[in-house]
Structure 1
Amino acid sequence: MTFFHFNPRPQSKVLPVDFAWKPRCQRMLCIIAAVTSFALCQTIALADDDETMAIGAKIYQEKCVMCHGGEGQGNQDYYPDPLTGDNTVGELAELISETMPEEDPDECVAEDAVAVASYIHHEFYSEAAQIRRRPPRAVLARLTGNQLRQSLADLYARFGDAGWRDDKQGLSGRYYNNSHWDDKKLSIERVDPTIDFDFGLKGPSPEDSEGAKKIDPEEYFIYWSGSLRVPESGRYELIVKSSCSFTLDFGSRDRELIDNHVQSAGKEEFRRSLFLTGGRDYPIELQLRQRKRKTEQPPAYISFSWVRPGGVEEIVPAKYLAPSNQPPVFPLQAKLPPDDRSYGYERGTAINRSWDESTTAAAVEFADVAIAELYPQYKRRHKKDPNENRQVLRKFLKEIVSTAFRRPLDSEMEKHFVDRFVDEIKDDAEAIRIVCLYTIKSPRFLYPLLDKDRPDSYRIGSRLALTLFDSLPADPLLRKEMEKDQLKNPKKVTEVAWRMVDDTRCRSKTRQFLYEWFDLAQIDEITKDKETYPNFDAALVADLRESFDAMLEEVVYSESSDFRLLLQSDWSFTTERLASFYGDAWKPADGQSGRLMRSVHDPIRHVGVLSHPLLMSELAYHRTSSPVHRGVFMTRHVLGRVLRPPNAAFSPLNPDLHPGLTTRERVALQTGEVSCQVCHSKINAVGFAFENFDAAGRYREMENDKPIDASGSYITRTGETATFDGVRELGDYLAGSPDCHRSFVEAAFEHFVKQPIAAFGPNLSDELTQSFQNSGFNIRQLIVSIAEIVANQSVAPEPTPS
């Protein structure tokens, strides 16, 4: 018999399976797939007493072992796949009653089918059985690519001043009535929300600045400073357009990204591409000079734009600019190989030549910046310290090694990782390079869970930083708490975790998690048929991203941080462009102004972010909606259920060939084959609930002159059937659904910890889900709870197969 595949890791929603089907197994799959009625699942007596289990075991041994193996492991000659999945006993009993044994399906029905189903479910089929038989273990994993970038950024930051952040937006601007910095000539001082100025021939206007003085339009100097807030890791393009001479320093005052001090003839646009690490505030200094000219002076203008990962060129919005000066940031540029995501979250498991070469490149890049920036700065700070036998260099290198290894160094480690190299190498730069290479390539740095020999507070601090920041503990306050051995106190751990949750690095990681849970993490661009959706363009998609981002941030960082608002809120963030395309429901509420505004309330068209056009348009085709994509998303991501990969790829039916059918009718026609229904009876039932939203995410009530049918259903893990009509009813159901709560909790745990949740205890999923519910579904509280569990629980990781 064929059942849904169970992933031994709860978040591994897709299992790569090589189907070496025998003819009899193909026939068996088709027969089982024909079972689409849910009624029987609710009427079968789900007995699990000892007598029933004994009867089931006897029947299984007599009639099922030959094909499926004694423990459901499969048989290469008959049916190679294991009997594992998340169907209920009732669903299994129905399949058995209808199809097994293959030679005589009527031989095992009614109570016998229930007995066999109960035995299979308890012994090896269910998730609980899988965990009981093969308890998951934490895997010894290396740093993922993002963890490596974050760790090196914090290793660099270890030698800088502590940054501070306020709620102000924009860049600090100082305008001088001169061609250079001269405080006596300071005319205007203000915070500019964005850098997008057309000064023309009149020069900067002092009208909006209190106490400002008039500026000579033929000669002036403007100095903008502050920081660029980077929300996500990825490749960014920074763009400055100007008719004047300018320079742009980025990441550090000593790092010149664009030099147009000597103005390039005829060139007014400058672009630079950088990989930036998310959750960081990058210092920025932009200096513009308008000089008197002997020839005719052209109109002056300047703008600062960017292209975010997967985005479009736009003036950098004020929310991503801050007037406060921040310490320098190290953005690693070395190309890193992608990490394994087959379990639903990034894992550092692959150890190969590509990874080895990329970590070497990263070590060399860090060594170069340590030589050029960190050590000169360190020497200036310690210029009065005694330097006999190069003590300043030794101390500098020991701080690098101890921070990278997340622990204080003992005398043997100091000799091995620092002193022997300083003794042998007379050139300071070469000694720094060798120690950095040796340290960053060391398993003590690359494998952060090799922490048994660390003092307790260092181990706890390291796990907090890895869980919440994907990084190492480098912040001055956290280092101080580790040094004073304060983290052995559970209350202190909770206090520190709450502090860290509001840090920009944790905010970036939380944003990444939510994008993954809503299946938007891998989107690049979204396009639609120009004739059907003529105004659906890249600029509209950029606004949708901004709206979606703002909604996530609003929910997570509100006082309640209530997860249910992601599924139930009846408003969203909008722009003028979104209101024009999506209609009245996307108009700004009364009193709203600015670029991004709260929309009016509409409980039908706004259902949390479930109905957000960014999600709806991504889960759709070029011209039509896709109940299948939406149903798969709901089943795997939101409800945490397992789906077997399809036997073969297929294209949707061309709507032009079936002009009289609605999308729902075409999908039902195409997936009605018995070989499809084994999965599509589940997929379609939830996917159809989204049919009120077309391929662009616009609300509709009719399609092809027929009323939209958005009715759907879902069978829970415990066998109950939920019915709903439309996304509003679905969202309200999900807000109270234990399956949805559990899916969110498990996905959050495995995203932040990058280990299977069952490895931390067979009951942890249930306990953490209950705690999440008791907290009022507080997302930030959930993240803190996850960090507490990881910090305080001793879990020995198993070695990763190379």
Structure 2
Amino acid sequence: MIASQQHRLFRFHMTALSLLSGICCLIFSQTVYAAAPKPLTGEQIYRKMCVECHATNGQGVTDKANPFHGMKTLVELTTLIDETMPEEDPELCQGDDAKRAAQYVFDRFYAKHVAAADKSARVQLSHLTVRQYLFTTSDLLSHFLGNAKVTSKERGLNAEYYDSRSMRRDKRVVKRIDPVVNFQFGNKKPDEKITNAEEFSMKWEGSVLAEETGDYEFILKTENGARLWVNQKDPIIDEWVSSQGRAKEHKATIRLLGGKPYTIRLHVFKYKEKSSSVVLEWKPPHKAQEVIPQRNLTPQQVPGTFITSTVFPPDDSVSGYERGTAVSKSWDEATTSAAIEIMTDVIKHLDRLAGTKPDAKDRKEKIQKFCHRFAELAFRRPLTDEQKAFFVDQHFKQEAAVELAVKRVVLLVLKSPRFLYTDREYPALDDYAIASRLSYGLWDSMPDRQLFDTAKAGKLKTPAQIAQQADRMLRDPRAQSKLRYFFHHWLQLDEKEELAKDKALFPEFDELVVSDLRTSLDLFIDDVVWNKSSDYRQLLLADYVYLNPRLAKVYDVKISEGPEFQKVSLDKDKRAGVITHPYMMANFAYHNLSSPIHRGVFVTRRLLGRTLKPPPQATEFKDGDFKPGMTTREKVALITKPSACMSCHSIINPLGFSLEHFDAIGRYREQEVKKAINASAELTSVSGETVKFNGARDLATHIATDHHAHAAFVDQLFHQAVKQPINAYGKNIREELTTKFEKSDYNIQQLLIEIMKVAALHQPHS
């Protein structure tokens, strides 16, 4: 009985326990369900965590101003959100939440911008840029007066020494090539063949080669009578009198166009002065005053070159490259002033230009034909009968004086949109339009005689025909000048007024060293670009530099004796192409310290082609604000630690840190403040991979092998050559050109030819 009751009680307890267990399970399952709700969507995460700073439209709120910026990939956004967002507590949005938020932001704010950019890209109507105007007007007149072209590889100037102050041919006793003009004769004779140390004369003739476009100051130092001519019939320095033995310095400044030679003549005489000396120097754009180097002198003489002295307003460069899209009153006035200047020069040389003489019976007829040809070349295509009548013939009928008719023609032609605009729309793309696109893409100037004749023959229709002409045109110094101009822009060489360092820390780093470093970098780039392989990768990976004795001393490198620059191999584990070139390292540094931030920003934007948003607030780097004994890397890591900074500095810092082996003037170092340099870093690439660096060589290797970096280089070169957005030529053009670039073993010259084939043949989007 008791057992039976106990059994029933046990069964009751078990039933109750089972029921209680079921209730508990139900309650527990409901609790778990409540604690793990359905994951928030990307939009919900954005509204909950992001809208406070970025606003619902992604443009940022007024007091915080955090608009979405640039063209980020989904991988970049995911990494950025996972590591740094929201700024006040980055751990709130990580993992899958970060992925969903990134997908929403990309779809909502970035993908449509990319599509819109592709869709809105158009070839814009553009007038000649300042550079294009200068070269076009110069080449237009050179077509009639003779092109200044150097064919000889010999360098130096023709020198003649006379045993008299009169420079009579029968008194010439010495004829030779002098490498430079830098002589201190004192009270001695310049040569034993001269009989009288108190009376003699000398002259040097040839051409001077300008590397960059800009103002050149020529400096003549002598205590004797002297005259100097540069690209002009009249001397730019005329001191043909005895200075009574007092050494004087004479100066004159003229504008020269890069990639062209200019005739130069220097005459000097001595008469009874106690001593004799002559030094010919110049100060080119962006460089220091120096004796004109042998590499910039040639004994070959060339015809004079017209260069307008008119000052133009700067071109629109908001897109990262110069474009002729802005039309202003100052631009219109400049084109008028330049046209009047050109008209004056045409009238001055009219008979020579037209191939006639003042008393010739057919003078008017020849001058009228010259005007037809002048207009034809200026418009880059043959004239129709209506155009001949409007631009030329009517003026010869109306004016009795031929010169007045010519003035009207020149002004009308040079102010016409047919001259001022490079790629006007025509009913159909023809050979002349293709010729114009080729010449402005490669030379920033009008077609030459051969290209014009090729267009006239109808032989600019196929990619092969265009490639053949482009290959020929690349051998012209104007193409070399334009590519140098591109590299200066790409490497941001001209964005600083001057490159100065702390004299107490770097007393040897003076104006001459800076000038030599720029020359060294130019020589390196020329060596890479203009050899047979023209390998872009060598710009980044080459282990050599060009040094002269002055630079070798500053950077502690042994070279053979001689004043000229020499190609010197360095430790490949320490140096890597343009990235570690001393000029680049010094350019992106403070006056007393290296700057990982400046270097990192440069590599990010220019070499990798990644976008960076403007900093949320400007933070000045004050070295005195840090504790003594901190390295530059430690200081940068400290001031960029806030999450608001790391959205960009997670990219910038690793790139800059990998270059910390180089000090403020680009010297290699192993230590800073008695601490070993730490040049290791990690970067999340555009494709989402983690890339590890341990110094400049690793960084250079990554850039040289990174597809996105290759595409960025293609972008930069396309824009500088064509002066139009690459997307306007098709949404896949960038990728197609990049693929061809990679398959060509990264040949820069071949890439430029491929770019010109695209620009010449593709009809822009309508």
TM-score normalised by the chain length of structure 2: 0.88
- 8 Å Cα contact 1:407-1:455 kept in structure 2: no
Q: Does 1:172 align with 2:151?
A: no
Instruction: Tell me, yes or no, if structure 1 residue 710 matches structure 2 residue 667.
Output: no
Highest RCO, 1 vs 2 (Cα 8 Å, sep ≥ 6): 1
Spell out, residue by residue over 1:295-341, the C-alpha distance to the aligned partner (whole angstroms, 9 max, x if none): x4231221211001122110011111111112211122111111122
Q: After TM superposition, give the deviation of residue 75 of structure 1 in Å.
A: 7.8
Kindly indicate whether residue 564 of structure 2 is the aligned counterpart of residue 564 of structure 1.
Answer: no
Q: Which amino acid aligns with 2:351?
A: P
- Bigger shift: residues 324-333 or 655-664: 655-664
Secondary structure of 1:378's aligned partner: helix
Displacement of 1:672 after TM fit? 1.2
Asked if structure 1 preserves the Cα contact closer than 8 Å seen for 2:549 and 2:562, the reply is no
Secondary structure of residue in 1 paired with 2:609: coil
Could you tell me which residue of structure 2 aligns to residue 7 of structure 1? none
Segment drifting more, 91-100 vs 215-224 = 91-100
1:628 maps to amino acid:
I
Where 2:205 maps in the other structure, the secondary structure is strand
Match of 2:511 in 1: 538
Q: How many angstroms does 1:181 deviate by?
A: 4.5
> Who is 2:395 aligned against?
421
- The alpha carbon displacement at 1:500 in A equals 1.1
Q: Cα distance, 1:110 vs. partner?
A: 5.2
* Contact 2:76–2:686 under 8 Å retained in 1: no
- Please name the residue that 2:299 is paired with: 323
Aligned pair in 2 of structure 1 residues 116, 578: CA closer, same or farther (>3 Å)?
A: same
CA gap of 1:301–1:496, structure 2 versus 1, over 3 A, is same
Determine if the alignment matches structure 1 residue 130 to structure 2 residue 99: no
**Does the 8 Å contact 1:196/1:315 carry over to 2?**
yes
For the Cα contact (< 8 Å) 1:86–1:717, is it kept in 2? no
Q: Structure 1's 485 and 352: CA in aligned 2 closer, same or farther, altered over 3 A?
A: same
**Preserved CA contact (<8 Å) 1:84 1:126:** no
Residues 144-182 of structure 1: CA distance to partner in whole angstroms, max 9, x if unpaired? 111111111111211122434222111122333343454
Task: Tell me, yes or no, if the aligned pair for 2:160 and 2:176 is still in contact at 8 Å.
Answer: yes
- Structure 1 partner of 2:255: 275
Aligned counterpart, 1:651:
620
Structure 1 732/94 Cα, relative in aligned 2: closer, same or farther at 3 Å?
A: closer
1:152 aligns with 2:137: yes
Which residue of structure 2 aligns with residue 194 of structure 1? 180
Taking the TM superposition and a 5 Å limit, the aligned residue runs for 1:196-595 are 196-205=182-191, 214=194, 216-252=196-232, 254-263=233-242, 268-291=248-271, 296-373=272-349, 375-381=350-356, 387=362, 390-452=364-426, 456-473=430-447, 475-583=448-556, 586-588=557-559, 593-595=562-564
| Match runs of 1:747-766 below 5 Å | 747-766=716-735
User: Whole-Å Cα distance in 2 between the matches of residues 178 and 139 of structure 1?
Assistant: 63
> Counterparts of 1:602 and 1:108 in 2: how far apart (Å)?
46
Deviations 1:225-272 (A, max 9, x none): 2211111111210112222222222214x2432222344665732111
- What is the deviation of 1:563? 1.0
Displacement after TM superposition at 1:426 (Å):
3.4
Distance verdict in 2 for CA 1:796–1:259, change over 3 Å:
farther
Mean Cα deviation higher: 419-428 or 747-756: 419-428
1:319 maps to a residue whose letter is R
The equivalent residue for 2:587 is 618
Larger radius of gyration: 2
Q: 1:636-665: per-residue Cα shift (whole Å, max 9, x none)?
A: 111111011123333203247421211111
Q: Secondary structure at the match of 1:602?
A: coil
- How many positions carry a matched residue from both structures? 725
Q: % of aligned pairs identical?
A: 37
User: What is the SS of the residue equivalent to 1:713?
Assistant: strand
Structure 1 residues 126 and 281, CA, compared in 2 at 3 Å: closer, same or farther? farther
State which of 574, 577, 597 in structure 2 corresponds to 1:628. Answer: 597
Q: Which residue of 2 aligns with 1:27?
A: none
In the aligned structure 1, how far is the partner of 2:355 from the partner of 2:119? 57
* Kept after mapping to 2: 8 A contact 1:332/1:365: yes
Partner of 2:21: none
Q: How does 1:652-671 map to 2 (within 5 A)?
A: 652-655=621-624, 657-671=626-640
Match of 2:10 in 1: none
Q: Deviations along 1:173-220, whole A, 9 cap, x unmatched?
A: 2333343454443322222111112233333226xxxxxx55644443
Q: 1:775 aligns with which of 744, 747, 751?
A: 744
- Shift of the alpha carbon at 1:60? 7.7
Q: 1:665 to 1:757 in 2, by over 3 A?
A: same
Q: 1:420 to 1:749 in 2, by over 3 A?
A: same
1:742 and 2:742 equivalent?
no
Aligned partners of 1:641 and 1:305: how far apart in 2? 43
The 1:365–1:298 alpha-carbon spacing in structure 2 relative to 1, beyond 3 Å, is farther
1:63 to partner: Cα distance: 10
Q: RMSD across aligned C-alpha pairs, in angstroms? A: 3.1
1:104 shift after superposition = 12
Which amino acid in structure 2 is aligned with residue 273 of structure 1? Answer: T
Change (3 A) 1:379 1:244: farther
3-state DSSP class of the match of 1:222? strand
Deviation at 1:744, TM superposition (A): 1.0
Conserved in 2, the CA contact under 8 Å of 1:616 and 1:695?
A: yes
Task: Please give the residue correspondences for 1:664-703 in structure 2 after superposition, counting only pairs within 5 Å.
Answer: 664-703=633-672
1:568 and 1:201 mapped to 2: Cα distance? 53
Match of 2:341, SS state, is: helix
* Distance 1:387-1:501 versus aligned 2 partners, 3 A rule: same
State the shift of 1:358 in Å: 1.4
Please, which moves more after superposition, 276-285 or 431-440?
431-440
Distance 1:317 1:522 in 2: 26
- Give the Cα separation in 2 of the matches to 1:512 and 1:532: 33
SS of alignment partner, residue 572 of structure 1: strand
Letter of the aligned partner of 1:444 in structure 2? R
Query: Residue 321 of structure 2: SS of its match in structure 1?
Result: coil
Counterpart amino acid of residue 439 in structure 1: V
Q: After superposition, what is the alpha-carbon deviation per residue over 1:624-644, rounded to whole angstroms, capped at 9, x for unaligned?
A: 111110011010111111011
Residue segments in structure 2 that go unaligned for 5+ positions in a row = 1-39
1:60-79 equivalence runs, <5 A: 74=59
Supply the distance in 2 between the matched residues of 1:363 and 1:528 (Cα, whole angstroms): 44
Q: What residue ranges of structure 1 are gaps of 5+ in the alignment?
A: 1-53, 207-212, 798-802
For 2:579, what is the secondary structure of its paired residue? coil
Question: 1:57-96 residue pairs with structure 2 within 5 A?
Answer: 74=59, 83=68, 85-93=70-78
What CA distance in whole angstroms lies between the structure 2 residues aligned with 1:102 and 1:306?
Answer: 55
Q: Kindly tell me: are residues 405 and 255 of structure 1, through their superposed partners in 2, closer, same or farther at Cα, counting changes over 3 Å?
A: farther
Task: Determine the C-alpha separation between the residues in 1 that align with 2:250 and 2:89.
Answer: 75
